[in-house]
Chains A and B, each alone.
Chain A
C-alpha cells in the first residue's frame, strides 16, 4: 500500500528531515511510526499525504508515485485517504453530523448517500446521539472520536493518524486504539505516528522507529 524507496527530504538551508528511508506497508497492515519530536515523523506523514514532495527517492501509495500527482489529481488521491490529527481540527460552526459529512461533500457524494454513511461512521465511534450538537459542547475524547468518524466516513483504504492520542488520557487512548484495530480488521491500512511508548507497546503491530530522519528500526511491537 505504502512504499518508500530511498526517500530523502531536505528543506532549503536546513539539515535533512529524512534521509534514505525505505519501507513498505502492505494493504490492510497497521503500523506505528515512533520517534522523538523533530525526528521526522511529521515530514514522513506529509509526504504520504502529498503535502510535500520528496527531495529524492520515490513515495508510492497504492502503486502511484505521488510526485507525479498535482492539482486535481492530488486532491482526488487525498479523498481516498483518511487523516486523524492530534487536535481533531473540527469546525465549531458545523454540527457533529456536518463535520463528519465534510469529506463526503468534498468528494461529491450524493445527498441521499451522505446520511447513511455519516450515521454508520458515528455509530462506529459511539456518537450517534451527538450528531446534532456542536463539537464545542463535546469532551476532548468525544471530539477526537468525531475526528476519527470524519476520517473513516468515506471508507478510505489508507488511514494516517498523527499523534491521535496526544491529548487523551490512557483510558481514552486505549479506546481510540481499539477503534483503529477494528478498522484494520476491516482491511484498512493504518499508519499511526506517536511518541507514546505505552500505546505502541500495548499493541501487537509493526513499529517503525525514526531518529534524526533515518529509519533505525522496523520490527514488531514488544508484546507480541
Chain B
C-alpha cells in the first residue's frame, strides 16, 4: 500500500513537472478544449434551462371542438370518452353553450345577456388539452379526425409554442447532438495527439524505463495524470465559459422568450450541464491519453 502511494505520488509529481516544463502549450490546450466543450454545453444549457423554465401549459396544444346542435347527450359523452381515452390527450372538458356565452360576455362585454340566454346562438363545445408527449403529427391527425366527424360542427386548434417551432427545435436538437459528438471526438483527438507527441518526445526516457524493468502501467501513469489534470482544467474552463455566456446572453434570450410567452423569465443555470461537461472533459482526456500512450508504447516495443 505504501509502495502504491509512493508510486502514484511520484507519477503525479512527474506529471506536474512535465506540465510546468511545457506550460504555455498546456494552457493553450486547456483554453482550446474549454471553449470547444463550452459550445455544446451552452446549447444544452439553453435547452435544459428552457425545459425547466417553461410552464407545462405553454407547451400543451389545445383544441376547442364545437359540437353539432341538438346532439344527444349520449353521443356527446361517447365522443368525450373516446377523446379522454386517447393517450395523446391530457384533459377533455365539456363546455356547455351557457358557460361559453357567460365567458364570451365577460371577455367581450356582450350584453344584455338575458336576451341571448333564451336564444343562445353558441354551440356546446369540448375543450381538448393535448398531452406534452403528443407530437405534431399525432395532434394534426386527431384534429383531422375530429374535423371529419359528423358530431363536430367545427373546431379551433391552438398549437403550442413547442409544436409551432417543432421543426426548428428538432433541427437545433440534432445540431446540438452532432456538435457534442464532434466536440468529444475533437477533444479525444487533441489529447490523443498531444499525448502521442509527448511519448515521442520522451522516447529515450521510455526506453530507459523499459530496460530498467518498468511495466507499461508504470510508464503510462504520469501521462494519464497529466491528461486528468488537463481534463479537470479544461472542464472547469468550459464551465466558466458556459456560466459567463449564460450571464451575458441570457437577458437577450429571455427578451426573445418573452415575445413568445410573457411568463418566460431568465434562463437558470443547470448544474447537471456543468457536471456533464466537466465529466466529459476528464473522461475524454483520459481516454485520449490512454489510447495514445498505449499505442505508442506498443509501437516502440
A interface residues, Cβ below 8 angstroms from B: 49, 51, 71-72, 75-81, 83, 89, 91, 93, 102-103, 105-108, 110-111, 150
Given known contacts A89-B204, A89-B208, A93-B17, A110 and B215 CB-to-CB distance under 8 angstroms: no
A91 shortest CB reach to chain B, Å: 7
Instruction: Tell me if A83 and B214 are in contact (CB < 8 A).
Output: no
Indicate with 1 or 0, residue by residue over B96-135, a CB within 8 angstroms of chain A CB atoms.
0000000000000000000000000000000000000000
B259 shortest CB reach to chain A, Å: 61
Task: Choose among A78, A93, A105 the residue that contacts B210 (Cβ–Cβ < 8 A).
Answer: A78
A150 CA to B212 CA in the complex, in Å?
A: 9
A71 CA to B6 CA in the complex, in Å?
A: 22
Please indicate the chain B residues that have their CB under 8 angstroms from the CB of A78 in the complex.
Answer: 210-213
Q: In the complex, given contacts A79-B213, A105-B6, A106-B214, what are 15 additional A-B residue pairs having Cβ atoms less than 8 angstroms apart?
A: A49-B211, A51-B210, A71-B216, A72-B215, A75-B210, A75-B214, A75-B215, A76-B213, A83-B211, A105-B10, A106-B212, A108-B7, A110-B2, A111-B6, A150-B212
Please indicate the chain A residues that have their CB under 8 angstroms from the CB of B209 in the complex.
Answer: 106
B interface residues, Cβ below 8 angstroms from A: 2-3, 6-7, 10, 17, 204-205, 208-216, 218, 301
Please indicate the chain B residues that have their CB under 8 angstroms from the CB of A89 in the complex.
Answer: 204, 208
Instruction: Tell me if B213 and A106 are in contact (CB < 8 A).
Output: yes
Task: Choose among A75, A81, A108 the residue that contacts B3 (Cβ–Cβ < 8 A).
Answer: A108
Instruction: Tell me if B2 and A103 are in contact (CB < 8 A).
Output: no
Task: Choose among A51, A83, A105, A106 the residue that contacts B301 (Cβ–Cβ < 8 A).
Answer: A51
Task: Choose among A51, A107, A150 the residue that contacts B213 (Cβ–Cβ < 8 A).
Answer: A107
Q: Smallest CB-CB separation from A160: which chain B residue?
A: B211
Instruction: Tell me if B2 and A111 are in contact (CB < 8 A).
Output: yes
Please indicate the chain B residues that have their CB under 8 angstroms from the CB of A81 in the complex.
Answer: 213
A106 CA to B3 CA in the complex, in Å?
A: 10
Please indicate the chain B residues that have their CB under 8 angstroms from the CB of A91 in the complex.
Answer: 205, 208
Please indicate the chain A residues that have their CB under 8 angstroms from the CB of B301 in the complex.
Answer: 51
A219 CA to B103 CA in the complex, in Å?
A: 117
Q: 10 smallest A-B Cβ distances: which pairs?
A: A79-B213, A78-B213, A75-B215, A106-B214, A103-B212, A89-B208, A83-B211, A75-B213, A106-B212, A108-B3
